[in-house]
A and B are shown apart, each in its own frame.
Chain A
Amino acid sequence: AQRVTQPEKLLSVFKGAPVELKCNYSYSGSPELFWYVQYSRQRLQLLLRHISRESIKGFTADLNKGETSFHLKKPFAQEEDSAMYYCALSGYSGGSNYKLTFGKGTLLTVNP
């Protein structure tokens, strides 16, 4: 079974402060991890993939297989980072289906 846990429903920080959104997963195989973001009144969009090891909008995330975690980090939060963030796991589901399983999301608020 695939499971993604985001322990914080809400996270509030001040502008310029570091931010870390936690994500833990459970999966018996070799997963692919993603972070999706949803800004107010916008559609869900891909932020980054663990396999690409890239930094998007200053955010990074490292897959830690030992701790089964994929935490999202940014050293200096900006007000425009305020959004709902979802961690998602892509695991093999049979046939050719690599469906995404999402966490419940963390609402990040960056205060001025």
Chain B
Amino acid sequence: DTGVSQDPRHKITKRGQNVTFRCDPISEHNRLYWYRQTLGQGPEFLTYFQNEAQLEKSRLLSDRFSAERPKGSFSTLEIQRTEQGDSAMYLCASSSWDSGENYGYTFGSGTRLTVV
């Protein structure tokens, strides 16, 4: 297991097109998070899965965004009808809990989306 993997690393798309990103978390982690990071900002929470259940979505996640985590393993984040404002780094992270202790997140390298 090489940590959290994200694919692709970079994506350039035309405005109005749909894009899908994939995240493979650390296999024993049951929690998976998507974050978005724009220039000069820290990562901002988008959504959270525990196993296959999507338990929380940020108000940042408009109706054009959808995320899934079938079978509680990898996750996909789809953006429909992309807009220039969607250009950002999309980060995936996974975490585990052990006896109620929070060990923090392990992040992937991110997918950099550029909408032209």
How many chain B residues sit at the interface, stated as a range, is 20 to 34
Q: Looking across the interface, which residue of chain B has its beta carbon closest to that of A103?
A: B42
Tell me whether A94 and B42 are in contact (CB under 8 A): no
What separation, in Å, do the CA atoms of A94 and B40 have in the docked complex?
29
Tell me whether A104 and B43 are in contact (CB under 8 A): no
Contact partner, A94, options B56, B103, B110, Cβ 8 Å: B56
Contact partner, B107, options A32, A44, A101, A105, Cβ 8 Å: A44
| Residues of B bordering A, CB below 8 Å | 33, 40-45, 48, 50, 55-56, 91, 101-110
| Residues of A bordering B, CB below 8 Å | 4, 9, 32, 34, 36, 43-46, 49, 51, 86, 88, 90, 93-105
Q: Which 4 A-B pairs have the closest CB atoms?
A: A102-B42, A44-B107, A46-B104, A43-B109
